[in-house]
Amino acid sequence: MLAHRFSVAPMMDWTDRHCRMFHRLMTRRGRLYTEMLTSGAILHGDRRRLLAFDAGEHPVALQLGGSNPRDLAASAKIGEDLGYDEINLNVGCPSDRVKEGRFGACLMAEPDLVASCVAAMKAAVAIPVTVKCRIGIDDQDPETALDTLARAVVAAGADVLIVHARKAWLSGLSPKENREIPPLDYDSVYRLKAAMPHVPVIINGGVRSLDEAKQHLLHVDGVMLGRAAYQEPWRLLGVDRELFGEPSPHATMKDVFEAMMPYIARELAAATRLHAITRHFVGAFHGVPGARAFRRHLAEHGVKAGAGVDVLRDAIALVGDRAPAAIAA
93 labelled catalytic? yes
- Going 113 to 115 to 119 to 122, the CA torsion angle's sign is positive
Residues facing residue 61 across a β-bridge: 33, 86
Alpha helices in 45-100 (DSSP H): 47-51, 69-82, 96-100
Annotated active-site residue in 19, 93, 106, 133: 93
Residue among 16, 46, 47, 43 nearest 32 (CA):
16
**CB-based contact 277:264 (threshold 8 Å):** yes
Mapped onto helix, strand or coil, the DSSP state of residue 204 is strand
> Ramachandran region of residue 83, left (φ > 0), alpha (ψ -120 to 50) or beta?
left
CA atoms within 13 A on the CB side of 90: 29
Cis omega (within 30 of 0) on the bond before 233? Answer: no
Query: Does an H or E element contain 63, and which?
Result: strand 60-65
Chain CA centroid to CA 293, Å: 28
Cα separation, 272 vs 268, whole angstroms: 5
Alpha-carbon distance 88 to 65, whole Å?
9
**3-state DSSP assignment of residue 133:** strand
- CA 289 distance to own-chain centroid: 29
Residue 207 · residue 228 · CB < 8 Å: yes
Angstrom distance (rounded) from CA 126 to CA 300? 47
* 224 SS3 class: strand
Measure the CA–CA gap between 24 and 121, rounded to whole angstroms.
Answer: 27
Kindly list the catalytic residues.
93
